[in-house]
Amino acid sequence: MIRELYKPGQYPLLRGVGKTGMTGPEIKSLLGSHIILYQDDFGSHRFVYHINGKSISVLQVIGFESPYIIANVYTENAYRRQGYAELLIKKAREVLGKIIHANPKDQSVMGKAWAKAVGEPIMDNGKDIIVNNIEFAAGQEPEYSDTFASLVRANYTIRGKKLAQILGKQMRVLDKHLRHIDNHRQVYRNAILSQITEDDDVLVTVARSIKNFIIGYLISEFSIEGAPRLLVENASESDYPYSVSIDSVNQSITVETEFDVMAE
């Protein structure tokens, strides 16, 4: 049995403009007859669903540009499993564009279940580049200042036409080629890593997701005012062994590598 942390009507993010204690000064916008959007200057976008004047569900996303990150989702107990949170995320995507889930390690058990239900990886750019997971390397969480450096680890998948382009193969022979390199993984490992990590589309997609991950962390930990300028670059393989996983059936390659992040 899950014990409720909040009594009905007491969850802070369900409160009206400027009353949550968890955001900066907010601007209120009506989005139809049931949804209100509250936004502040610190990257918080709070979508609240109302029924007969009562706040019953809230979705908070954070970020200063697309893709935004889901920070909090809550629905009053009496209204759960009725699709209100799904309505909020649909409306949020209509208003803001791309919205992605938080890193799974930062999600509650219920949050992971909801993320799975509405289903989406951390980032999918629509060009066969999918960011599956991002986390700080051990001891690399930044202490916020005007300038800082950090190291993050990203797991991402390249598939389909984009993978064929990177490998210089036609789609009709991609599965055969993947089977071949899978059988000679050690021979091709470094070449595959080089081809994937140096591709411009891959770097732009992963870097954008890393920037939002870092900004979300800074907002959560330090309540920053505005987004720092972040530079993301491929890190050289050192003590941490980079991984390559080849899936010829789904015509994809998943790699896990590290990135240097610098705030300027």
The series of mean pLDDT values per 10 residues for the chain, 264 residues long, is: 58 85 86 91 91 90 85 86 85 88 52 48 63 87 81 93 93 93 88 93 90 77 68 87 91 94 88
pTM over 0.75: no
Q: Which two tokens stand for residue 37?
A: 């959007």
Edge to edge, the sheet with strand 44-51 lists 27-31, 35-39, 44-51, 54-62, 68-75, 99-100
Q: What confidence score (pLDDT) does residue 3 get?
A: 42
Question: Is residue 115 domain-shared with residue 191, that is, in the same domain?
Answer: no
Contact 136, 150 (CB under 8 A): yes
In this prediction, residue 82 carries a pLDDT of 82
Does a structural domain hold residue 7?
A: no
Please identify, among 90, 120, 150, the residue that sits at the C-terminal boundary of a domain. 120
The pLDDT value recorded for residue 118 is: 46
Q: Are residues 108 and 216 in the same domain?
A: no
User: What size, in residues, is the chain?
Assistant: 264
Number of domains in the chain: 2
Pairing of strands 99-100, 68-75: parallel
Query: 33 in a domain, yes or no?
Result: yes
Q: Which H/E stretch holds residue 115?
A: helix 109-118
What range does the domain containing 172 cover? 129-263
Phi-psi map region of 172: left, alpha, beta (phi>0 left; psi -120 to 50 alpha): alpha
Both 142 and 256 in one domain: the answer is yes
Residue 67 resides in a domain: yes
Residue 177 forms part of a structural domain? yes
Q: Do residues 209 and 68 lie in contact, with contact meaning Cβ atoms separated by under 8 Å?
A: no
Element holding 223 (H helix, E strand)? none
Residue 4 in any domain: the answer is no
Give me the amino acid identity at 58.
V
Are 190 and 143 found together in one domain?
A: yes
Last residue of a domain, one of 120, 144, 171: 120
pLDDT of residue 55: 92
d(CA 31, CA 92) in angstroms, rounded, equals 10
**210 close to 261: Cβ distance less than 8 angstroms:** yes
